[in-house]
Structure formats: C-alpha cells, structure tokens
C-alpha cells in the first residue's frame, strides 16, 4: 500500500499546540501513516519543514514527515483536533477554532487539569472530549520531541466516537483504553500532578530526587491528602484510588517510573514561561475554598510558583 493510499484510511488530523504532548502523540500518528498537520510557533514550523519532526523515543529515533503551519485556520478541514495548548491559552485558542472548524470535527483535549473540555466547549461552541494523558516528554530543540517514559491515554465514556479514537491511537501503537469514570481518571492524574509538579519546579529537581528526600515526601503526602479531601467533597472518586494509601502508592510509582524527569511545570519555569499551576494546585485551592475544605499545602505550592513566575 502506498503512503497516499495509507493516508486515505486515516482521518485528517491537526495538532493544535505543537509541544511535547502534541509532538509525541501527533508524531506517532504521522509515523503510522496518518496525514497530520502541526500548528505551532515559527521556530517549530521552520525546523519541521526543513528536517521533519524528530522523535527521539525510548523505542526508536526517527525523522517523521509532517505538515506544519503557524496559521490556525489550516485546521479547518481536519476531522480530529488534538488540542494540546497550555491551559492558559485554552479559551483564546478554542474561540479561534470555533470560527474555522465544522460541527463534525472531534476535539480531543490532551491537557493537564480536569475542566478543559468544558472551557473549550464554552469558548468554541463545539464538543470537546477530554483525555487523561500519561507521557514523559520534552522539547529539547525546535522540531525535536524527547520521549523518556510511558505514552498512553484514557478516553471515555464508551461510545462511537471514543471507540473510533481509541482504535486510531491503538493503530499508531499508542496504548489507549476507555473508562466509564473519566472524571475519576482525570482527577487521578490531577492527584499526581498536584503532588509532583510544583515540588519539582520549586526544588529544581527530578521526580527521583523528590523520592530521595524525606521532607519532600512529607510535603507530597500532605498534598495528596488535601486533593483527595477536595475530590470527596466534590463527589468524585479518583479512578483506582480506593484510599489514601493507594493514592500515595500511585504517586510514588509515577515518580519512580519517571525518576529522571522534571515536571512540565519545572520545564516551563526553567524557560521563564508561564506555567499551568492555575489548573493544578490552583484549581484545588479554588475548589477547596468553594467547598470550605482547607488546603494549606496546595495553597503554599500554588502561591510560591505564582511568585516565581512573577519574578522570572
């Protein structure tokens, strides 16, 4: 089968936000034969147009031919949108997409946090499907994605669209499962992010270095307890976390699996970029205030990251 014939069997895909997450999953789809257009910043677009997207993964290293543009309107004919912008840019980007996409387009939010699909829908008028994303990746240079761990997705609930999406990702060797408790899946990831991201950023350390510090682990544990309290008050049962012991074990497992990795929050701060802390510990602070649940450690982590952002 020729490349053109292979591409005809895939939906047209646009990756909006060509960072580590979008670069990895969009790159895997393109490598499998899908026609993928990346929409990103000029440095990324120039690099990809010249050399292709370079995937440096734990399994392989390969230049993948993809299309790239700085113009959001090039997504107009895409059937599937991988929405991978920072949560700080969600509303503005979704509003712009709403002007160019058809009502049939399937938007997949592949972002940190638990309320992105609602924000995208409110801004664009289009339905967005959230995904819980697990991948350790970075962008060490424009047009290069460095993958060091995991690379799997959770969608839900079970329906025609999520089944079609799961089949698409699975075909591209991206493990993808469907859950009937996707809210719980998103909150489970929120537990890990709140526990690890700010600590990694403020301490300028890897996840492994967090595990090596008894004091850091104490902060991690208290952070987890606070997030679980807010989840319970919100009527959410984080997936796979029957109790606090399971939640802590999960946080430690994530840190062990990605021991050499620094959080996305840490990577943003190292580059003097605005972080997504408002969607992580900041979200817990706001929800805790609404529910009258005290979350002093999450508040401290959130505040310190925001102060560091302001001084960068």
Average pLDDT score over the chain = 94
Q: Which band of pLDDT confidence, cut at 50, 70 and 90, is reported for residue 2?
A: very low
pLDDT at 260 over 90: no
Predicted confidence at residue 67, as pLDDT, reads: 96
> How large is the average pLDDT for residues 35-41?
96
Question: pLDDT > 70: what percent of the chain?
Answer: 97
Residues comprising the chain, all counted:
312
Contact 226, 298 (CB under 8 A): yes
Report all structural domains of the chain as residue ranges with CATH numbers, in order of start: 3-180 (3.40.50.720), 183-310 (1.10.1040.10)
Predicted confidence at residue 1, as pLDDT, reads: 41
Which pLDDT tens digit goes with each residue over 102-147? 889 999 999 999 999 999 999 999 999 999 999 988 999 999 999 9
Closest-CA residue to 213 (of 196, 232, 238): 196
Q: Which band of pLDDT confidence, cut at 50, 70 and 90, is reported for residue 312?
A: low
Q: Which band of pLDDT confidence, cut at 50, 70 and 90, is reported for residue 239?
A: very high
Three-class SS state of 127: coil
Spatial separation of the C-alpha atoms in residues 288 and 179, rounded to whole Å: 26
Predicted confidence at residue 63, as pLDDT, reads: 97
**Cα-based torsion angle of the residue sequence 61, 67, 68, 74 in order, rounded to the nearest 10 degrees:** -150
Residue 36, token pair as written in the block: 């993928």
């Amino acid at each position: 089968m020729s490349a053109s014939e292979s591409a005809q069997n895939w939906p047209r895909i646009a990756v909006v936000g060509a960072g580590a997450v979008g670069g990895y999953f969009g790159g895997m789809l393109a490598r499998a034969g899908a026609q993928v257009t990346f929409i990103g910043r000029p440095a990324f677009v120039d690099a990809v147009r010249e050399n292709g997207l370079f995937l440096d993964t734990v399994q392989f290293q390969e230049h993948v031919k993809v299309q790239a543009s700085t113009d959001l309107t090039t997504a107009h004919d895409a059937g599937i949108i991988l929405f991978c912008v920072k949560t700080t840019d969600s509303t503005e980007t979704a509003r712009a997409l709403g002007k160019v996409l058809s009502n049939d387009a399937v938007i997949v939010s592949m972002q940190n946090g638990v309320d992105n699909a609602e924000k995208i829908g409110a801004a664009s008028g289009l339905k967005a499907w959230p995904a819980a994303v697990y991948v350790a990746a970075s962008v060490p240079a424009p047009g290069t994605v460095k993958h060091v761990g995991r690379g799997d997705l959770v969608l839900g609930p079970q329906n025609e669209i999520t089944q079609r999406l799961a089949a698409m990702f699975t075909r591209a060797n991206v493990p993808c499962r469907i859950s009937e408790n996707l809210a719980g899946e998103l909150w489970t990831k929120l537990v890990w992010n709140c526990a690890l991201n700010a600590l990694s950023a403020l301490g300028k350390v890897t996840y492994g270095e967090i595990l090596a510090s008894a004091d850091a682990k104490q902060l991690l544990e208290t952070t987890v307890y606070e997030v679980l309290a807010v989840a319970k008050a919100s009527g959410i049962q984080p997936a796979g976390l029957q109790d606090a012991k399971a939640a802590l074990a999960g946080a430690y497992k994530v840190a062990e699996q990605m021991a050499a990795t620094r959080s996305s929050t840490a990577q943003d701060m190292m580059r003097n970029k605005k972080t997504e802390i408002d969607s992580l510990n900041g979200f817990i602070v706001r929800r805790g205030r609404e529910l009258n649940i005290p979350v002093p450690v999450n508040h401290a982590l959130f505040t310190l990251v925001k102060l560091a952002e302001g001084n960068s």
